[in-house]
């Protein structure tokens, strides 16, 4: 069972859905397309988290601890397995920090 990422993202977060489609074009102008595989759509989210340095450190520790491993995340369109290979952290002043991370959906048997 995968660990669950539980920190809430800010409303500045956005998502993108990408469909995987196989297409073939014929010489007479016709073509065919079909969904590519069982999981033909995959989602990715650009998420922002703002909090105390301690909270942001906990998020960084979670993400660093899951390099090469998927984790569960309850996104806006449902729960799924995700991984994160890119994040940017910044200090906003005082004890407030932020992190922007890209979560990419993954699938397992």
**Angstrom distance (rounded) from CA 65 to CA 67:** 6
pLDDT for residue 1 is more than 90:
no
CATH code that applies to domain 4-106 = 2.40.30
Which tokens hold the place of 92? 């906003």
Give this prediction's pTM.
0.85
Q: Is the pLDDT of residue 102 over 60?
A: yes
pLDDT tens digit sequence for 19-63: 999 999 998 889 999 988 889 999 999 999 999 999 999 999 999
What are the extents of the domains in the chain? 4-106
């Amino acid at each position: 069972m995968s660990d669950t990422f539980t920190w809430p993202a800010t409303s500045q977060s956005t998502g993108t859905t990408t469909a995987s489609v196989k297409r073939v074009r014929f010489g007479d102008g016709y073509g065919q397309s079909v969904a590519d595989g069982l999981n033909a759509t995959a989602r990715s989210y650009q998420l922002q988290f703002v909090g105390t340095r301690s909270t942001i450190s906990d998020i960084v520790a979670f993400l660093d601890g899951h390099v090469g491993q998927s984790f569960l995340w309850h996104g806006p369109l449902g729960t799924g397995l995700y991984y994160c290979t890119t994040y940017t952290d910044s200090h906003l002043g005082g004890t407030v920090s932020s992190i922007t991370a890209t979560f990419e959906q993954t699938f397992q048997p």
